[in-house]
Amino acid sequence: MTATDRTNLRDKVRIAYSAAAEMPQEKHAFPAGRAFAESLGYPADLLDELPAVASDAQADPIRFPRPVRLPVVSP
């Protein structure tokens, strides 16, 4: 694969993931949305704490492979 091919592929992937994030209600070539986030193990109560736009746009299991609960820190 040439450098140009890699760049073109990277651009196409970026466009596809951006479209999923911007239009989660549309059909995409890969799983996306809240149901996908829950299927990866993200707890519903954690997703409930997020704005719907954040959990609806979930489409990146590579970057966020498992749910992580951060500790609550008091000031």
Task: Please provide residue 2's backbone torsions phi and psi, each rounded to the nearest 5 degrees.
Answer: -80, 165
Q: How far is CA 9 from the centre of its chain?
A: 19
Over the stretch 22-62, which tens digit does the pLDDT of each residue have?
Answer: 887 788 888 877 888 888 888 888 888 888 777 776 665 54
Q: Which pTM does this prediction carry? A: 0.53
The confidence score (pLDDT) of residue 62 equals 47
* Interval 12-18 mean pLDDT: 86
- Give 10-74 as a DSSP string: HHHHHHHHHHHHH-TTS--SS--SHHHHHHTT--HHHHHTS-HHHHHT---TTT--S--PPPP--
Identity of the residue numbered 54: A
The structure tokens listed for 14 are 């970026």
The confidence score (pLDDT) of residue 74 equals 62
With a cut of 50, say whether residue 65 has pLDDT above it. Answer: no
